[in-house]
Amino acid sequence: MHKPAPSDFPVHQLILERWSPRAFVDKPVPQNLLRSIFEAARWAPSSNNEQPWAYLVATKDDKENFEKMLSVLVEFNANWAKSAPVLAIAVAKLAFAKNNVPNRNAQYDTGAASLLLSMEATANDLFVHQMAGFDPEKARQVFGIPAGWEAIAALAIGYPGDPDSLPQPLKDREMAPRTRKPIAEFVMAGHWGHTAPFITK
Ligand SMILES: Cc1cc2nc3c(=O)[nH]c(=O)nc-3n(C[C@H](O)[C@H](O)[C@H](O)COP(=O)(O)O)c2cc1C
């Protein structure tokens, strides 16, 4: 399914095209594409070039690993994410490697890596649906995530499928128009709450 963002101002086509499907086609993602999307994550900017992210990945052909991944998702997410051919968890290292000082941008940088991964996916007709709905402590146990690292988000990756494959409430959400706050609400200048003048001119 194609679901371009109805933007108020011109932006790159890739940004318009990215969206988060819940229905996926039963089709594996070629390994070269998987390598490319994680290569895109690799080139994300990060505070002090710390690159605090790591990804645990399960492809559907690896049944045991895929089941482990599904087991850490909340039921709502597991019910639709099981149709994706690839599941992943983004993990962040919470302190700088060189001095163990807390890295207050670790989650931010990991999000940036996941978004670059998502954009590279979109450029290859692949789509990524990130999820907060999973149990980070269960992920720690199931995958042996070490102390000092924190599971941040789960990701379902694959080719968008037929919305009719979803149960009714999810089908409606899949088809619903995409909405966002106007930029005037979040782009400010001079003082909190004052919309930046270039927005309204
Ligand atoms: C960090 C993060 C957590 C999210 N958690 C969930 C989730 O647990 N379940 C879900 O169905 N969607 C989840 N989403 C998807 C958002 O609902 C979705 O990105 C948002 O509605 C905007 O839609 P779009 O990505 O199609 O533009 C999450 C997205 C992000 C970035």
Tell me the per-residue pLDDT of 26-83, one tens digit each, with 9 for 90 and over: 999 999 999 999 999 999 999 999 999 999 999 999 999 999 999 999 999 999 999 9
> For 84-137, how does the pLDDT look when each residue is reduced to its tens digit (9 = 90+)?
999 999 999 999 999 999 999 999 999 999 999 999 999 999 999 999 999 999
Quick check: CB of 131 below 6 Å from ligand 1?
Answer: yes
Number of H helices, E strands in the chain: 8, 4
Please report how many Cα atoms fall inside a 13 Å half-sphere around the Cα of residue 197, on the Cβ side: 1
Quick check: CB of 46 below 6 Å from ligand 1?
Answer: no
Q: What are phi and psi of 2, to 5 degrees?
A: -110, 130
- pTM, rounded to two decimals: 0.97
Residue nearest to atom 15 of ligand 1 (CA): 130
- Per-residue confidence at 7, pLDDT binned at 50, 70, 90? very high
* Alpha carbon distance, N-terminus to C-terminus of the chain: 36
As a 3-state breakdown, the chain gives helix, strand, coil percent values, each rounded to 5, of: 40, 20, 40
Quick check: CB of 165 below 6 Å from ligand 1?
Answer: no
Judged against a pLDDT cut of 90, whether residue 198 lies above it is answered with yes
Amino acid sitting at position 198: F
